[in-house]
Amino acid sequence: MAAPLVSCVLTTYNSARFVAEALTSVAAQEHPRLEVLVCDDGSTDETAAIVAAHPLAATFSSAPNAGPPVVRNRGWRAARGAYVAFLDADDRWLPGKLRRQVAELEARPGLAWSVTRLRTFWMPELAEEEARLRGQRRAGEVAGYVASTLMVRREVGARFGMFDEGSFTLDIPKWIRAAEEAGLEGSLLDAVLVERRMHAANLTRTHTRACRSGVLDLVAEALRRKRAAGPGA
């Protein structure tokens, strides 16, 4: 294969239940210059075996459990493509995701990053939650400032910095906010190109308190900026 244009960094942690679907959604991109790096966060289940058995030829690496931003950064550093696209193992890309984001970043050299819209789907064990949240704004198609929608220029990592490894949760919104603050322009592509899965082991579910506290950290930073900018900001 010619040198990759796009590196997919697929992060896994005890993802045996879903990783094959994620890999299949990557394969469905049919991108001719794609490398797939499966970066595992110390799984103790069958994740490695499932990745190895999948027809998509992915490079698998594992390290002791350290949390999502550490694993994503490991993949970012290992990537060879000009563009790095992240995917959490429980989510799925929709067809055309890579092609459309690459086209946008190629057409707009000033863009450092791109995200897309996403929609959420629930596993059967959460049918009650799905019914309760149906119709709410966040249960529909929303802007996806999350890892699975994000494509970055690889060189931005060295020039600006990668994800905050101290942010166990919300590392992507925090990175984007910091990038914007530093003048790095990005784009929300107005198309639903990712499906986010709700299941019993979502990080936002197993670490709800940390996630909610992380949101307030973002709020505190936003209010600090408004105060610094003065009245009317």
Sign of CA dihedral 35, 54, 100, 76: negative
Instruction: Return the residue matching tokens 């896994």.
Output: 12
Burial of 119 (0-12, 13-18, 19+ CB in 10 A): middle
165 in contact with other proteins (CB under 8 A): no
Q: Minimum CB separation from other proteins for residue 13, in Å?
A: 16
Q: Which of residues 141-160 bind other proteins (CB under 8 A)?
A: 142-146
Binding residues for other proteins, total number by CB under 8 A: 40
Q: Which of residues 167-226 bind other proteins (CB under 8 A)?
A: 169-170, 172-173, 176-177, 188, 196, 198, 204-209, 211-216, 218-220, 222-223, 226
Q: Minimum CB separation from other proteins for residue 117, in Å?
A: 9
Q: Which two tokens stand for residue 105?
A: 């970043």
Q: Which of residues 55-84 bind other proteins (CB under 8 A)?
A: none
Residue 121 forms beta bridges with which residues?
Answer: 197
List the one residue out of 184, 152, 165, 185 whose CA is nearest residue 81.
Answer: 152
Neighbours of 92 (CB within 10 A): 23
Q: Minimum CB separation from other proteins for residue 156, in Å?
A: 18
Looking at the Cβ atoms of 61 and 208, the one nearer to other proteins is: 208
Dihedral pair phi/psi, residue 58, rounded to 5°: -105, 150
x/- binding map, residues 94-133, to other proteins, per CB under 8 A? ------------------------x----------x--xx
Q: Minimum CB separation from other proteins for residue 166, in Å?
A: 16
What Å distances lie between residue 184 and 32, 152, 212, CA to CA?
Answer: 28, 11, 26
Would you call 232 helix, strand, or coil by DSSP?
coil
Looking at the Cβ atoms of 77 and 117, the one nearer to other proteins is: 117
Looking at the Cβ atoms of 56 and 70, the one nearer to other proteins is: 70
What Å distances lie between residue 32 and 37, 86, 131, CA to CA?
Answer: 15, 18, 40
Q: Minimum CB separation from other proteins for residue 22, in Å?
A: 17
Applying CB under 8 A, the residues found at the interface with other proteins are 118, 129, 132-133, 136-139, 142-146, 169-170, 172-173, 176-177, 188, 196, 198, 204-209, 211-216, 218-220, 222-223, 226
